Amino acid sequence: DRAWKKQDIGAPAEATIAAFRGRGLSRIPLHGPLSWTVPGCVDGWFRLHERFGRIPWPALFETAIRAADEGFSVTPVIARMWQEAQPLLAGNPGSAAAFLPRGRAPRAGETVRNPDLGSSLRQIALDGPDAVYRGAIARGLSACAGRVGAFLSAGDLAAHASEWVEPLSLSFRGVDVWELPPNTQGVVVLEMLNILSGYDLASLGPRSADYLHLWIEAKKLAYENRARWIGDPADSPPGASVSGLLAPEHGVLQRHRIDPNRAALEAAPSEHPARSCDTVYVTAVDRDRNACSLIQSVFHSFGSGVAPEGLGFVVQNRGSLFHLDPDHPNALRPGKRPFHTIIPAMVTRDGRPLFSFGVMGGDMQPQGQVQILVNLLVHGMNPQEAGDAPRVRHDGSSTPTGDAMQEGGVVHLEPAFGDAVAAALRRKGHRVETSDGGYGGYQGIWIDEETGMLLGGSESRKDGLALGI
């Protein structure tokens, strides 16, 4: 069954370009209540369970409720991210109460409880999505919206509906790679693979400057189309489609635009920076080799930074991704879904699941996915090796606030690539920086076609694990 679930988190009915401009705003704030859209995840969970689930709905929440009630130990990675978000959380009473329980961010090793979240999860376990869209949680959300000045209303919540969508796919190295369609950026992965498919990547090796140059230039071209085309397809002009980006002839045309010896000086803006402290990716494969690839996020660290009192969770800030230019493909309109960064992925061969995976991290998600796939499918790495291999990240030609950056953007390399590779890329005209962070968070499961064995890979740069039971 190839059906994929996509959560519809559209803009509230009163969230219009005129309403924001009437408040003197030229862009939607990154944080705060004006960045809210309708939260779609709970209805998404329920529809997935309704169609594919085997465990009773209430049982799904038992472990999470126990962790919220009894507490969990904070890891060093999460403690650092929590500390960075402390000023944001301190600015809202509900967020401070839920997430700064000692008046500060928890430290590594401390135990944190969130009984309000446990109560919310119990209501969802009992009443399903009605708790969030029509019941007690909906009332708490809409009451908070009224207090803090959000556009979200009880009517917006009640009108929510998720939808099943048909995924996009591309054949690459004898397999089919599957991604969610717009309003997500899954097509970016497929366009990059389409461009790179015309090169002898195996002969270049995974760490060479020549390979990295081709990868960077393919990324620039694919992100240029991301900025030009991707928005809610229900709001797109008649005839607008991204399917042409996956045609073989498009890959040929894009390769003609790449100079193998010189970096292009134009690069699409990095509007959705690489951040993965707000996102969780999970993949699971069962005894019958059914596979699930799932990613969930509140976008930025602690989302909007606003937690409705007594509910134990923050509301996401996905609405900040909208534009207030009415001609932009991602222009704000009531009910419209914003551009989305999160993209669970899957690989099949002859219609059967082969590899279920994802990479957390905003702008880094397509970049990371392509690197994982090339490592696996071209260079023959196993799932753990493919994730442990050093990564590259390219940031576009401007920051999320519109501040100018270097022409052609900036190439970030992990130190393991070495100084010689960095120097070779600079000779091709790239601006190169070496850094330790910002390369996403990967998880994946490979299904061995001969033995049926499951081979897991887990991100070594962050918390995570590969577990067989």
Q: Which residues participate in catalysis according to the annotation?
A: 279
Distance between CA 63 and CA 72 in Å, rounded?
11
Distance between CA 95 and CA 31 in Å, rounded?
13
Distance of CA 441 to the CA centre of its chain: 10
